[in-house]
Amino acid sequence: MRYVLVALLIVLFGYSLALVLQNGTELSVDLLFTQVPAMRLGLLLLLTLALGVVVGLLLGVQIFRVFQTSWEIKRLRKDIDHLRKEQIHTAQLAAAEAAANTRHEKTVVDIHPNDRSSTPL
């Protein structure tokens, strides 16, 4: 992966250098707040390309963050619903077990050997 990135950077640098060298025409550029009297066309193209990449990456990161937050909220809501259903099921099982124990206590009579009534011999 590292070699691919290095190769990509070398190709990008070579393309940028060729762009600047091939487009050597000088022209004046108005940059809203200032004016550059003479700038090479290749350099101008390179600067606008770099500016576009930076702005695109920043916007892409922001948009991805919004989508990622939305996906996380949906996942957490599903987890909450699952846990809520599991909690209700556990409470129902505990209530049924408590009811069964109550019925069992009412129907079972504990007879201990020491509690036998004395029978006449």
pLDDT digits 0-9 by tens, 1-33: 889 989 998 998 888 888 888 888 888 888 788
Domain contains 112: no
pLDDT (mean) for 97-114: 68
Query: Whole-prediction pTM value?
Result: 0.50
Task: Render pLDDT for 40-62 as a digit per residue (tens, 0 to 9).
Answer: 888 888 888 889 989 988 888 88
DSSP string, 62-94: HHHHHHHHHHHHHHHHHHHHHHHHHHHHHHHHH
Q: Which residue has the higher pLDDT, 105 or 18?
A: 18
Domain coverage including residue 75: 2-105
Report the number of distinct structural domains present in the chain: 1
Domain contains 54: yes
Query: With bands split at pLDDT 50, 70 and 90, how would you rate the model's confidence at 111?
Result: low
Give every CB contact of residue 38 below 8 A, 6+ residues apart in sequence. 26, 27, 28
